[in-house]
Structure formats: C-alpha cells, structure tokens
Structure 1
Amino acid sequence: MEFTLLFLELFLKAMRLGFPLLAFFFLLITLFGQWVGRLEGWSRFDAFYWSFITALTVGYGDFRPSSRKSKVLALATATVGIMFSGVFVAVTVAAATEAFHRYMPGSSV
C-alpha cells in the first residue's frame, strides 16, 4: 500500500505539471471533432464521441468521415490523440519508475 500511495503522489504531481499540455491536446481533439461533425452533419455529442474514439485509437467505426476534408481532419485528430496518449503513458511510466527507485533503493529497475 505504501508503494501505491507513493506512486499516486508522484503521478498526480506529474499530471499537474503536464496538465496544460494535456488540456491543449484535449481542446484540439474536441475542436477537430466538432469541425468534422459539422462537415458530416453529426450532432455535437456524436462529433465529440467520434473525436475521442478516434484520438484514443479505439475506432469502433460507427461514425466515419466521408468527405476528403473530414478525412484529413480525422488524420489530424488521430495524430494529436497519439500525442495525448503518449504524454499520459510517459507520465505514468516516469512516476512508476521513480516510485520503484524510492521504494526499493539500490534496485536496478
């Protein structure tokens, strides 16, 4: 339990530092999604849903862009989503690594 609390403390500190970048990516994903939704005639909610399903690489396929402009925006959405996920994963790995080093001094993890 001590290790878990240490990890959570480090993770939350790092997330506070990375929050502006994550918020910027979140905003871009949302804006791209709304733009595609407007071009495709989707509701705002469906556009929001599509943008994050695309950005997080889930891709159910229930909504898909049909116009060339929408498809280009879908590529941009997916690219920003990869960066969004990458920052989140990097923060998680860094926090876990630091927690291991603090919890188990002298280990080579």
Structure 2
Amino acid sequence: MPKKPGHELTHRQMRRLFFVALVRQLRVIWPIVSGVVLVMIGCGLAIWRIEDWRIDEALYFTFVTGLTIGYGDFTPKHVSARILSLVIGFAGIVLTGIVAAVTVKALNADDWEP
C-alpha cells in the first residue's frame, strides 16, 4: 500500500476505500455476474421441471451445486438434469472466480493514497 510520509490511513479509511473500489468493480462486471446467476437459475428451473421436485428444492440444489458445496441430499436422476447440473457447477466456478478477481482488484486499487 503506497503511503506518503506523514499520511497514515486509519483502518476505517482503508475499509471505506476498499468498499468504494469494490462497488466500482461490481458496477463494471454486473452484467456478467447477473448473466451467470440467470444461467444457474434457469438450469435449476429446468431441473425442477425434469425431476418433478418442489421449486424450493430445485433452487436449493442449484445454489448448493453452484457454490460447489454439494451436500448430496438431492441428486438428479435424468441424464438431461445431470447435464444441466454440470452447467450449474461450471457457472458456479466462474462466479466464484469473478468474485475473487473483483475482490483482489479492489484490494489493489490505486485509491489508497490520501
């Protein structure tokens, strides 16, 4: 973190600068993030229809799979639902990577100097 002599940032100022940079980054990549989330939800709704689950079970399965937690309490039986589960898993990996990249970018923001 670059500092000028005699200009120390407080923890509160650093936290504020981080969140400002994070929001700035999120506004740029919001179309990508929302697209990935919509793909995940769309696949989850398709699995809901294919597997004849309740909608809350299908959305739960979608986000547990997408966040790579994968408890295994719901497993698709049909081949098409399994393929959609793979799409959800890959979309979740992309989403996790995007969140990590945006956070690192916000941490490396050039706005750290007072």
TM range, normalised to the smaller chain? Answer: 0.7 to 0.9
Q: Which runs of 5+ in 1 are unaligned?
A: 105-109
How far is the alpha carbon of 1:103 from its aligned partner? 2.9
Aligned amino acid, residue 68 of structure 1 = V
Distance in 2 (CA, whole Å) between partners of 1:58 and 1:70 is 18
After the TM superposition, which residues 39-78 of structure 1 pair with which residues of structure 2 at under 5 Å, given as runs?
39-78=50-89
- Is residue 47 of structure 2 the alignment partner of residue 33 of structure 1? no
| Larger proportion of helix | 1
CA displacement 1:38-93 (0-9 Å, x = unmatched): 11111111111111110110111111111111111111110111111111111001
Distance in 2 (CA, whole Å) between partners of 1:26 and 1:76 is 11
What TM-score does the superposition give when structure 1 sets the normalisation length?
A: 0.88
- Secondary structure of the residue that 2:26 maps to in structure 1? helix
- Secondary structure of the residue that 1:59 maps to in structure 2? coil
Greater RCO, CA 8 A, separation 6+? 2
What TM-score does the superposition give when structure 2 sets the normalisation length?
A: 0.84
- Is residue 14 of structure 2 the alignment partner of residue 6 of structure 1? no
Consecutive aligned runs of 4 or more in structure 1 exceeding 6 Å deviation: none
Q: Which runs of 5+ in 2 are unaligned?
A: 1-11
Distance in 2 (CA, whole Å) between partners of 1:10 and 1:64 is 39
Distance in 2 (CA, whole Å) between partners of 1:18 and 1:102 is 19
After the TM superposition, which residues 89-100 of structure 1 pair with which residues of structure 2 at under 5 Å, given as runs?
89-98=100-109
Identity %: 30
- Secondary structure of the residue that 1:60 maps to in structure 2? coil
Matched residue, 1:107: none
Aligned amino acid, residue 71 of structure 2 = Y
- Is residue 92 of structure 2 the alignment partner of residue 81 of structure 1? yes
- Higher-Rg structure is 2
